[in-house]
Chain A
């Protein structure tokens, strides 16, 4: 299966070396409930990590910790060389400048148009000339296939369009890292695949460091089993030519702890009853062509 798009992707990187996330024995509890217990992992620059787990397993909490929206009770969180755990809100603005986030349901600003939503950071927090910001907004909206929706309000968009505008908003400031919180939940399979393709493109063509939180196994395995490459002026997303798409690892959370960390082929071989019950035959069904011998 492959898809092509004539539009060239915009430059989404500030510097090729930027973007690495490291969790070192991070713990967090809300009142008596432990949400994360000594969670450790690392996402190297340009790599993608898919975080799986049941609802309430602490997946989204990890993204909020990376952005400094929550503070850990213990452990260290390093984002692009900055330890964010002890940073003040003001200091965190520097870290957030290089991290884009796609929230569940998009979290678009209701009172702003698509243009204002996508260019929000550039309009409000930088001194870039308006023409340049407008050009950048149109560029990223074209990238996600919504160039003609620039003057619409979020309420006039479908769920999938809102999610793609949210991706465009995360891309607009050319961050080195993008965090996706359930980017395909509640979407039909065709729209979900279009969003998966965006994620694959950013990983493979722009080397954006990414974390995808999801409990949609279909999308998780699609991202791991596909790769994007440039074809002339455009690009193509297709089944990974090697056993698995490069630079993609999985992290599975269970009872606030890391239950598994590794590549898709390792996930298939691990043989843990909980993992078996969670992923079941889905891997085989969805990744039949991506199996290792």
Chain B
């Protein structure tokens, strides 16, 4: 009972500290000083740096989706509508979620390790002693970059995923490209586009802010940095999946 109470207290304190960080991030967005050079640098690190992994994830997901759904659709003699399934699945669900998970693994771990190392080697304290607010200097640029770049990366993943599906349809399922493309367009609605953009916007903000929170709370030397990195990836991955469900439910309720 005591252990449970202590665990709940720790969880409540963790949530409180995370919300406090979010408040500071919002304050940093509204009020200067702003470090635009760091924002540009992070846009490059998070966006351009994640491009290859997102391209590979997108194309293979689209291809396997076309293969699997082609087999199922064959049972109903509906192989020609495979494009409809691929586009809807990629844009509404797989594009945002898989891109978010890839960015969590690559960027979330990197941020937690970098900030964690800075904490344990006193670089964060040195920043503060030199008159720089670490939230404005380190967290705000990363959060801006994550929130802006995840939707961009998701659009790219969606596009290459649909393209991957087209390749499989053409060469494996023998569905003509024009048929596939007509179905891709027919299968998408404006609500789907909104869903495909709102999700990565929220997920990008959460992944990066959570990784920053975990990194800045690192204690216990290099072992602590390893622990922080693991916690950031595991915590953000679970948050991505849970938030995906909640966002899907909310968007279906309000937009469809």
Contact = CB atoms under 8 A, between A and B. Distances in A.
Interface of A: 64, 67, 69, 89-90, 93, 96-97, 99-101, 103-105, 107-110, 120-121, 124-125, 169
Given A104-B122, A120-B130, A125-B130, 13 more contacts: A67-B128, A69-B125, A90-B133, A93-B131, A93-B133, A96-B131, A99-B129, A103-B126, A109-B123, A121-B132, A124-B130, A125-B33, A169-B130
B126 A101 contact: yes
A177 B132 CA distance: 18
A105 B35 CA distance: 27
Nearest to A117: B126
9 contacts: A67-B129, A89-B133, A96-B129, A103-B125, A103-B126, A103-B129, A107-B126, A121-B130, A124-B132
Contact of A96 (B33, B117, B130): B130
Interface of A is mostly: mixed
B121 interface: yes
A101 B33 CA distance: 22
A125 B129 contact: no
Contacts, number: 55
Contact of B122 (A103, A120, A124): A103
A121 B131 contact: yes
A110 B128 contact: no
Given A93-B131, A125-B132, A109 B125 contact: no
Contacts of A169: 130
B123 A64 contact: no
Given A107-B122, A107-B123, A101 B131 contact: no
Contacts of A69: 125, 128-129
A117 to B, nearest CB: 9
Contacts of A125: 33, 130-132
A110 B129 CA distance: 17
A67 B132 CA distance: 13
Instruction: Give the residue among B33, B121, B129 with the most A Cβ atoms within 10 A.
Output: B129
Contact of B125 (A97, A107, A108): A107
A233 B130 CA distance: 31
Interface string B123-144: 1011111111100010000000
A150 B121 CA distance: 22
Contacts of A121: 130-132
A105 B121 contact: yes
Given A67-B128, A69-B128, A105 B122 contact: yes
Nearest to B129: A101
A107 B121 contact: yes
B218 to A, nearest CB: 15
Nearest to B133: A89
Nearest to A111: B114
Given A67-B128, A69-B128, A96-B128, A110 B123 contact: yes
A110 B35 CA distance: 19
Interface in B112-168: 117, 121-123, 125-133, 137
A210 to B, nearest CB: 15
A11 to B, nearest CB: 19
A56 to B, nearest CB: 16
Interface in B84-124: 117, 121-123
Contacts of A100: 129
Contacts of B133: 89-90, 93
A105, A109, A169 — which one has the most chain B CB atoms within 10 A of its CB? A109
A278 B117 CA distance: 34
A110 B127 CA distance: 12
Contacts of A110: 117, 121, 123
A96 to B, nearest CB: 5
B110 to A, nearest CB: 12
Nearest to A166: B126
Pick the most buried of B126, B128, B133: most chain A CB atoms within 10 A of its CB.
Answer: B126
Q: Which of B125, B128, B130 has the most CB of A within 10 A?
A: B130
A125 B33 CA distance: 9
A101 B130 CA distance: 8
Nearest to B122: A107
Contacts of B117: 110
Contacts of A90: 133
Given A105-B121, A107-B121, A97 B131 contact: yes
A106 to B, nearest CB: 9
A99 B125 CA distance: 13
